[in-house]
Structure 1
């Protein structure tokens, strides 16, 4: 076994331990997230073994941050109250050293989103930025291609864009797509699990962000934690699609939750497709 194979085996073992920790510790994840997929995020967290709290009232968020394992901010349907709540929550999380996952939905399509992201990065520490390739390249200043909230970027230069952003903000970057990219600017992993059906349901990306908040809430290394969440979602999608005689969006969505719930260490080690660069 060469050094790369050893590294990939170590990563898969670390991912399996991370998922076990989620189920053993039941991290409380506070989500200030978009209204289109809020129920999906809550349910996938429950299936994963975490405890969701969709707590976004600006009069309550700072107190609630004191109770949580991690904070998830998704700016997909950002209202004025969510904006105020997100700023307060991120600032408080920094004071209490709580990890924060940010999903920069549509940041390359709507200028206000980029302004909000810059403010959140100023008032606190963002542990992970997770977006699609178009969003990540837009944040990096490399002209990512978006159609509304969906990436239509071909992924060219994706690893470079992720590394630039990770180093600029001293954070973990996860760019989802046909091949997912996770990097801290030095270490980089590619995850090749997934199914095209994940693009046929609402909220797949939002759910990855929520799962990432759960894993960073129980794991000291946010790079491993982020890779664990991305791989778990991709593998569950793959297994859900493979389990169906006819792969249709409605039944696929239900099976996706089932396979997140039932995922075992053995399935991760056997089915996980991770490449360490």
Structure 2
């Protein structure tokens, strides 16, 4: 009964996103700006890419959520990230942080800590290597990619959730989500995500939309990751090559239903 009730709540996040059309300000990397904008539209959100230092404080005020992605972190983006997070804290706007390559580039760790100190972080979504690095555990990374086998990832997620007092999601062959107490392990997904650029960035944007539409960030993050994985599975059924898979992924995100989330989600709850 518990699983049925919680899956009803997870699937309801999708309906809330499409009902509320959350405005998500994405300060993201230059490689995936267009991807993040389009997948947010397909999901039911409203994308904005406002990152100008002189505008971002005021724009976050009117946003439903803020998504910060450190993928191509310029000095200008760094200052905008910090200022945007301050505005989010003042104006009670949820923040999703994607700590891209934090294990490979030490400067990014200091930026994350600065955002945590003066702003807010509601969700950290990263790959296994990034999350393990934030937990102070040795991890195997190559640039923005994790080469880690996932051993000890749940413990790392719990550590980071307690450290930053937020929901943490580590993506990989299995996806782990925790608020430090509750745990969800998602077993959906496809390997093809690793063959296209920006799958993680797009997922971060979806987490932003879910956070902007639903109060419970543990459930909203679980719903966003499950949605991406189910869309990926459906896309791969129709498109076995990376280029066509990317196109079908957008279509399948758009076509998602509550029914599919409830019936096809493979989630272990702890």
**TM-fit CA distance, 1:9:** 2.0
Q: Does 1:54 align with 2:49?
A: yes
Which residue of the partner structure matches residue 132 of structure 1?
127
Q: Does 1:185 align with 2:180?
A: yes
Q: Which moved more, 1:223-232 or 1:266-275?
A: 266-275
Contact map agreement 1:164 1:185 (CA 8 A) in 2:
yes
Q: Give the Cα–Cα distance (whole angstroms) in 1 for the partners of residues 152 and 219 of structure 2.
A: 23
**Unaligned stretches of 5+ residues in structure 2:** none
Which residue of the partner structure matches residue 245 of structure 2?
252
Q: Give the Cα–Cα distance (whole angstroms) in 2 for the partners of residues 119 and 206 of structure 1.
A: 21
Which residue of the partner structure matches residue 26 of structure 2?
31
**TM-fit CA distance, 1:243:** 2.5
Q: Give the Cα–Cα distance (whole angstroms) in 1 for the partners of residues 8 and 266 of structure 2.
A: 12
Give CA-to-partner distance per residue, 1:96-126, whole Å, 9 cap, x none.
Answer: 1110000000000000111111111111120
Q: Give the Cα–Cα distance (whole angstroms) in 1 for the partners of residues 52 and 224 of structure 2.
A: 27
**TM-fit CA distance, 1:15:** 1.6
TM-score by length of 1: 0.96
Contact map agreement 1:8 1:274 (CA 8 A) in 2:
no
* Counterpart mapping for 1:30-109 below 5 A: 30-109=25-104
Residue 217 of structure 1: SS of its match in structure 2? helix
Give CA-to-partner distance per residue, 1:195-240, whole Å, 9 cap, x none.
Answer: 1101100010111110000001011100000000010001100111
Q: Give the Cα–Cα distance (whole angstroms) in 2 for the partners of residues 60 and 143 of structure 1.
A: 38
Match of 2:263 among 246, 264, 270: 270
Give the number of aligned pairs: 270
Which residue of the partner structure matches residue 206 of structure 2?
211
Q: Give the Cα–Cα distance (whole angstroms) in 1 for the partners of residues 173 and 179 of structure 2.
A: 20
Q: Does 1:199 align with 2:194?
A: yes
**TM-fit CA distance, 1:143:** 1.2
Q: Give the Cα–Cα distance (whole angstroms) in 2 for the partners of residues 152 and 53 of structure 1.
A: 32
Which residue of the partner structure matches residue 146 of structure 1?
141
Q: Give the Cα–Cα distance (whole angstroms) in 1 for the partners of residues 226 and 5 of structure 2.
A: 14
Which residue of the partner structure matches residue 3 of structure 1?
none
Contact map agreement 1:181 1:189 (CA 8 A) in 2:
yes
Residue 224 of structure 2: SS of its match in structure 1? helix
Q: Give the Cα–Cα distance (whole angstroms) in 1 for the partners of residues 106 and 170 of structure 2.
A: 20
Q: Does 1:110 align with 2:112?
A: no
Give CA-to-partner distance per residue, 1:159-216, whole Å, 9 cap, x none.
Answer: 0000011011110000000000000000000011111101100010111110000001
TM-score by length of 2: 0.99
Which residue of the partner structure matches residue 175 of structure 1?
170
Residue 59 of structure 1: SS of its match in structure 2? helix
Q: Give the Cα–Cα distance (whole angstroms) in 2 for the partners of residues 151 and 145 of structure 1.
A: 6
